[in-house]
Amino acid sequence: MNKIKNIAYFGFADAPPSDPLFKEAFELSKYLTSKGYTSVNGGGPGAMRAVSEGAKAAGGTAIGVTFYPKDITNFEGRDPKNPFDQEIVCKSYLERTLKLLELGDAYVVFRGGTGTISEFGMAWGLARLYFGHHKPLILYGDFWYKIMQTFGITMRIRSDDLKVYRIVNSPEEAYQALQIFDEVIAPQKNPSSDERAFELVGRGKG
């Protein structure tokens, strides 16, 4: 039985349907959903909407994890055009991020802005903490090679940190990477609740 069932997707919220990023998020989600995975996203516009549309095009399920802000200046919120099947409403932006990390058995990270960067950082940090039974990352696009090389040169990156992700450039490569990860990682023991994830991240372990 596959250990990886739900895939949480992170990417740029401001990507319109005409953006190549929107199209690749749609195609990747459609392809992976056709392979039996459930798509999880933040319920907003851009790459998030594309992920839900891709899942629906494949006849699968999309889960939207939303937050309805009252006083945040630059948060896109829920997109009424995002056609997810199930909505999970969170009380804060942090709770929403942690719920996405909790629900995903693996993560796909597209090109994005500061929100995507923070989600990528938390996912990568948790993968290091739980190495061996971690939740793997799929980094989508050639641009990731330069980013990860820069991290390796300028930061203090441990060897195990480099084993929790794969850089891919097509839906087929993403699927192959997920299959490999599913074979080599032990049953996942990542936090079973938002509180546990927040406790670990908040302590600054890593």
> Cα(200)–Cα(9) distance, rounded to whole angstroms?
22
Domain ranges of the chain: 6-202
Nearest CA to 106 out of 31, 32, 202 is that of 32
Quote the mean pLDDT of the chain.
91
The top-level CATH class assigned to 6-202 is alpha beta
pLDDT level of residue 201 (50, 70, 90 thresholds): very low
200/66 Cα distance (integer angstroms) = 23
Tell me: the pLDDT tens digits for 97-147? 999 999 999 999 999 999 999 999 999 999 999 999 999 999 999 999 999
